[in-house]
Amino acid sequence: MRRLRQWLIRLTTSMTRRHDDTRLREEIEDHIAFETEANLRRGLPPDEARRRALLTFGSIEAFKEGYRDQQGVPSFEHLLQDMRVAVRRMWKTPGFTATAIATLAVGLGLTSAVMSLAYALFLRPLPVDEAARVVFVEQTRANRPGGWGYAHPDYVYLREHARSFSELAAHNSTMPPLVVTTPGGPVGVSGAVVTANYFALLRLTPRAGRFFSLDEDRVPGRDAVAILSYDFWRTRFAEDPQLLGATPRISINGTPFTVIGIAPQNFHGVVAGLEPNAIWIPMAMYGVASPYCDAPLSRACGGVGVIGRLGAGSSIEEAHAEVAGLSRQLKEAYPEASLGNGVLVRPVRGVRMLEQTASVPIVALLAAAAALVLLVASANVAGLLLARGMRRRKEIAVRLAIGASRGRLMRLLLTESVMLATAGSVAGLQIAVWSMDVLRAYFSNLDLSLDPRIVLIGFGVALFTGVATGIAPALQSTRADMALAMKDGSFGAGRPRSIVREGLIVVQVALSVLLLGAGGLLVRSFFMLHRGPGVDPDRVAIVRLRPSLVGFTSERAWAYQREVIERLEALPGVAAASPASAPASWRAQPVTPARLPGDSSDPEHAYRVGTALVGPQYFKTLGVGVVQGREFDDRDTVAGPRVAVVNEPLARHFWPTGGAVGSAITIGNDRVEVVGVVKDLQWTSALQQPDPVAYLNFWQQDPSNRVSQDSRTHISVAGDAAALLPEIQRTIAAIDPDVPISEAGSLAARLDAQFTDVRAARTMLVAFGVLALGLSMIGLYAALAFAVGERTREIAIRLALGATRADVGGLVFRRGMAIVLFGIAAGVTACVIAGPFLAHLLYGVSPRDPLAIAAGPAVLIVVAALAISLPARRAMQQNPIVALRAE
Amino acid sequence: MKKPTTVHQGTLALMVLKTLDVLGPLHGYGLARRIEQISGDRLTLNTGTLYPLLLRLEQEGAIASERGPSENNRSARFYRLTRAGRKQLQAETRAWEQTTAQIARFFAVKAEDLP
C-alpha cells in the first residue's frame, strides 16, 4: 500500500517536474550563497570563497541526476530517454538505419507471405458456424496419398448408421466444369452437386432466396433447381433479383434450371483450392453434371465427398472409430467394390487433402527459401550491429567512465535494437503485402490474405531477431576495456572479431549463391518446358469442343467434328488441325495393359502403357515428325483395320532391335497395327521417366460412346497462336453456335497453368536470390568500409613507409575477393548438394546443370567487385599525413 | 585522515526529522551544518542527497516549508516538522531503539552465557 502511495507520488512529481526543478535550483543557489558567506567570514577573498563553495557542493549535474532518479518513475523515464537517443542516432546514420530496416523487412515480409500461403493451404477453417466440428470423412488407400470419397450408396449407408454425427452430407465438385448460360453467353464454371442437407449442416443462411428442400433431392432428374454463389450472381447476373423464382431462367449443360437461392458472400464450397464453387445443384441432378456416367449415383461410378458435423459430445476419435467399423461392414457386404483400406476423419481445414499433398513440396521449397533469406537478413543485421558496436566502443567507454551503469547501457543498446526491429517489421508488413500479390497470381484458386496472427508472429520474430542481434554487440561493447577504448579505438580491433564479421559475410554470400543457383535451375527448367519435347507451344492453339453436352446424336457430333477440322484448315494462317482426347501437355497415365499377340501371361502383370486418342496430322500440328512409318491419315477409317502410333519408349520395350512398324500389338482389348513411331512427347521432370504411350486413332473410336464425341482440337498456327484465337473461335461458332467452346488458349498458356509450381518457384526463388545477393553485397561493402576505417592508421603507416596506392588498394581488394570466393565455393557446394531436392520441378535440365549454377556466382562476382572497389578506393585515396596527424 | 562516514538514506531522514524536532524551523544549509555539528563532524553530508530528501519528505507530508528571512537577512527556505512528521519521528525512533537494543544484545552475547 505504502509502495503504491509512493509510486503515485512519484508519478505526480514526474508531472510537476518543472516546479521541482526551479525549487531545487533555488536551494542550490541558497546553499552556495550560505557556504560562500561562511567562507568570507573565515577570511577568504570573495572569488576564492565562491570557488570553494562550488567545490564542496560537487557536481551540480550529478546532483540533479541523483535527485531525478529518486523522484520520477525511473524505468519509464529511462525508456523514453533511451527511445529519444535511439531515434536521434537512427536519424544521424540514415545509411545504417535504412539498411537494417530494409534487411529485416525483406526477411520478415517474405516469411510472413509464405506462412500465409501455408496457412491457406493447410490450416484455414471454413467460414461457417463452429467450423472445428465440421469434418471430412474420407477413405485412404494403401500407397496412394490423400483421402478419397465414398460411392454414393456407401455414403447413404454411413448416413443411416453413423451415430457420432448430427448430420452427414455428400458433395462433389464437378469435373469438368458446368456450362451455364448467362446474359453474357455460356460460361464454364466449377460447381458442386450436394445433398439437400449440405447447407443445413454448414448452418449457413442464404443471402437471398432459400436453400434446397429435402424433397428436391429425392427423385433423380426431377427437380432442376440451383443455388448460385454470391460472386457468380454479382459478376454474371448483376445481382438481378428477378433471376430467383419459379421459372427456369438459366440452363446448365443444356438443361433448364430454376435458381432458388444465393449463398452467403464468402462461401465458395467446402473444397477450397480447386476453382471456387459458383453453383450448387441437388445430388439427384448429378446426371446433368456428369457426362461420363449414366448412373452417377450407382456404385459403379466414382465417389462423392462426405462431410459431417460432429454430434454433441462426440469427438473426432469416436467418429473415426465408428466410421472405420461401418466401412468394414461395407467391405464385407461388397467385397468387389473398390473401398479403401483406411478411414480418415479430419477437420475441414485448408484445401482438400489431395491438393495439400501436392502442395507440400512447393510450400516446403518456398518456406526453405524464405528461411534462407531471413537467415541472410539476420546475418546482415548482426554484422551491421556488430560493426556499429565496435565503432561505438569509444562512446560507450566514455559513458561508462562518467558513471553510466552497465545495465543502463545495455538497456539503451537493446532499446535501439528493439526499435529497429519494430520499424523493420512495419516495413516488412508492406513487403508481405507485395509478396502476397505475387503469390496470388500463381495460386489464383486460393483466397490468399495475410492473417493477423501471422503478422503478429512475424512481429515477435522481428523483436526476437532485434534483441538477439542487439544483445551480442551490446554485451561486447559493455565489456570493452575502457582505458584501451578511450585511448584509441583502432588498436582494440582484434582478429577474432573481424573473423566473426567476415564469417557472417561468407555465410551470406554462400546462401545467396545457393538461392541464385536454385533460381537459375528453375529459370532453365521453365525455359525448357517451353522448348518441351521439340514442340513450339506458342504456335499451337487448343480448344475444347463438347457436342455431347448439347445432346447431339453421334452421327451429327462426328459430322460436326469433321467440319470443324475442314473449316479450320481452310483458315489463313492455320497449317494443320487435329482432334485429340487430351491436351498435348497432359501425361497419359500408364494404366492400360499392352502385349504382343500370342503372349498369354497373366494380364495382371502386363506391361502398362498410357493411351491417347489423336486424329490425322496430330504430330504435324505439334511440329514433330514421325521417326519411322507414318502418322494417321484418311486411310484409317472406322471400317478399316485399327492402327496405332507408338512412342520410342514403347517401341524399344517390345521391339528392342527395331521393326515396330507393321507389327501387331494388343492395347487393352484392342488389337492394333503399329503404323508409326514418334519421339517421346512428354514433359518429364528430372524425377520422371518417359512413359510408354500408344496413340490410337480418334476416328476409330466406338461412336456410340457419348464422350467420344468430344475433343480437344489442336491447331497449328503459323505465328502467334494466341493472336489467332478469336478468329478460330468465330470460325467454330459459325458452324454451330450451340456447341460450347471452352478452354481456348495456346499450348504455351496451358503449360503456364499446368506448371504453376515451376513458375511460382522460379519467380519467388529468383526474387529471393536477387534480394539475398543485394543484402549480402551491402553487408560486404559495409564490412570492408568498416575495416578500412579501422585500419586507417595502419594504411597510413604503410603509405608513409613507401607502399604504393595500388598496393594498399590491392590489400583491401584481395581481402574482399577472398571472402567472396570462400562464400561462392561454399554456396556452389551447397547447390550441388541441394539440387536434387528440386528435381520434381526440373524439366529438361539436370539438377546439377553447370550453366544454371554458374550464372549466380558470375553475376555475384561482378557486383562484388563493385562493392569491394568502393572501400578499396577510399583506402587508396587516404592522405597518410592527415590520417597520422588525426591520431 | 579520518575517513568520513557515509549516511544511509533512511537514517538521514531520521536525523533530519529529529534535528527539526529539537531545533525548530531551519533552512537547508543550516540543517546540513547542524547535522554535521551534532555528529561531531564525523559525518559529511552529501548535498545531492539532502535536498532531494527534503523535497521528498515534504511531498510525503512529514515536513512543511516556506520562505523567510535568515539570520543575516538573506531570503531562504525554512523547513519545519508537521504533526504527521512528528508521529513518524516517534514511530521511527521506537523502531530504531528496538533495533539497536536487539543488536546490542547480540553484541553483548558471550559463548558461556548461552545454555
pLDDT per position as a tens digit, A124-145: 777 788 888 888 888 877 656 6
Average pLDDT over residues A45-70: 73
pLDDT for the residue numbered B1: 38
Backbone phi, psi, residue A275, to 5°: -65, 135
pLDDT-based confidence at residue A2 (cuts at 50, 70, 90): low
- N- to C-terminal Cα separation, chain A: 58
In the predicted structure, residue B7 carries a pLDDT above the cut 60: no
CB contact under 8 A, B32 and A31: yes
Listed by number, the residues of chain A in 6-45 with a beta carbon closer than 8 Å to a beta carbon of chain B are: 6, 9, 13, 20, 23-24, 26-28, 30-31, 33-35, 37
Choose from A344-348, A664-668, A761-765 the range with maximum mean pLDDT: A664-668
pLDDT in tens, B60-111: 888 988 888 887 777 888 999 999 999 989 998 898 889 889 888 888 887 7
Q: Does A3 touch chain B (CB under 8 A)?
A: no
How far the first Cα of chain B sits from its last, in Å, is 44
Q: How far apart are CA A305 and CA A364, in angstroms?
A: 27
The three grid cell numbers given for residue A426, joined into one nine-digit string: 512495419
Q: Which three cell numbers stand for residue A861?
A: 562476382
What's the CA gap between A350 and A360, in Å, rounded? Answer: 12
Q: Which residues contact A515 (CB under 8 A, 6 or more apart)?
A: A369, A372, A373, A765, A768, A769, A772, A773, A856
Task: Judge contact between A308 and A135, C-beta under 8 A.
Answer: yes
What tens digit of pLDDT does each residue of A583-614 get? Answer: 888 888 788 888 888 777 776 678 889 899 99
ipTM above 0.95 for this complex? no
CA separation, residue A712 to residues A115, A747, A794, A843 (Å): 38, 11, 76, 24
User: Hey, which residues 37-96 in chain B have their CB within 8 Å of chain A?
Assistant: 46-49, 51-52, 54-56, 59-60, 70, 72, 74, 76-77
Whether residues A66 and B74 touch (CB distance < 8 A) is answered with: no
pLDDT-above-70 percentage for chain A:
86
All three cell numbers of A229, joined, read 454463389
Place of cell 557486383: A863
C-alpha span between A308 and A164 (Å, rounded): 9
pLDDT given for residue A68 in this prediction: 60
Task: Identify the pLDDT of residue A702.
Answer: 77
Average pLDDT over residues A871-883: 80
Of A13, A31, A58, the CB nearest to B59: A13
Q: In this complex, is the C-beta atom of A67 within 8 Å of any C-beta atom belonging to chain B?
A: yes
Q: Is the pLDDT of residue A490 over 50?
A: no
Name, in order, each residue with C-beta under 8 angstroms of A648's C-beta and a sequence gap of 6 or more: A627, A677, A678, A679, A680, A690
**With 90 as the cut, is the pLDDT of residue A510 above it?**
yes
pLDDT of residue A21: 73
Of the spans A18-22, A61-65, A72-76, which averages the highest pLDDT? A18-22
pLDDT digits (tens, 9 = 90+) for A664-698: 999 888 889 999 999 888 888 877 888 899 999 99
User: Could you tell me where the DSSP H helices lie in A310-352?
Assistant: 316-333
pLDDT (tens digit, 9 = 90+) per residue, A87-106? 888 888 777 788 888 888 88
| Cβ–Cβ below 8 Å for A30 and B47 | no
A534: left (phi over 0), alpha (psi -120 to 50) or beta: left
Range B28-49 burial, b when 16+ CB lie within 10 A, else e: bbbbbbbbeeeeeeebebbbbb
Neighbours of A121 (CB within 10 A): 23
Query: Which residues 6+ apart lie within 8 Å of A64 measured at CB?
Result: A21, A24
Q: How far apart are CA A280 and CA A276, in angstroms?
A: 11
A227-231, A358-362, A523-527: the lowest-pLDDT one: A358-362
Binary contact (A31, B48; C-beta < 8 A): no
Q: Over range A450-470, report the average pLDDT.
A: 76
- Residue in chain A closest to B9 (alpha carbons) equals A70
**Of the candidates A38, A35, A28, A37, the residue with the CA atom closest to the CA atom of residue A59:** A28
Q: In whole numbers, what is the pLDDT of chain A averaged over residues?
A: 82
Say what the pLDDT of residue B3 is: 46
What pLDDT shows up at residue A295? 66
Band of residue A176 on the pLDDT scale cut at 50, 70, 90: low
Picking from B65, B79, B68, B106, the residue whose alpha carbon sits closest to that of residue B15 is B79
For residues A198 and A204, give the distance between their C-alpha atoms in angstroms, rounded to a whole number. Answer: 9
CB-based contact B77 A58, cutoff 8 Å: no
User: Span A68-89, mean pLDDT?
Assistant: 72
Q: Do B52 and A27 touch (CB under 8 A)?
A: no
- The reported pLDDT for the residue numbered A139 is 84
Is the confidence at residue A8, as pLDDT, over 70? Answer: no
Averaged pLDDT score across all residues of chain B: 82
Those residues whose C-beta lies under 8 Å from the C-beta of residue A481, and which sit 6 or more positions away, are A397, A492
Give A613-638 pLDDT, tens digit per residue. Answer: 999 999 999 988 888 999 998 888 88
Q: What is the pLDDT of residue A821?
A: 94
Cis amide bond preceding A256, omega within 30: no
Chain A contact for B29, CB < 8 A?
A: yes
Q: pLDDT per residue over A818-864, tens digit each?
A: 999 999 999 999 999 988 888 888 888 888 888 888 988 999 999 99
Look at residue A455 in the predicted model and tell me its pLDDT.
80
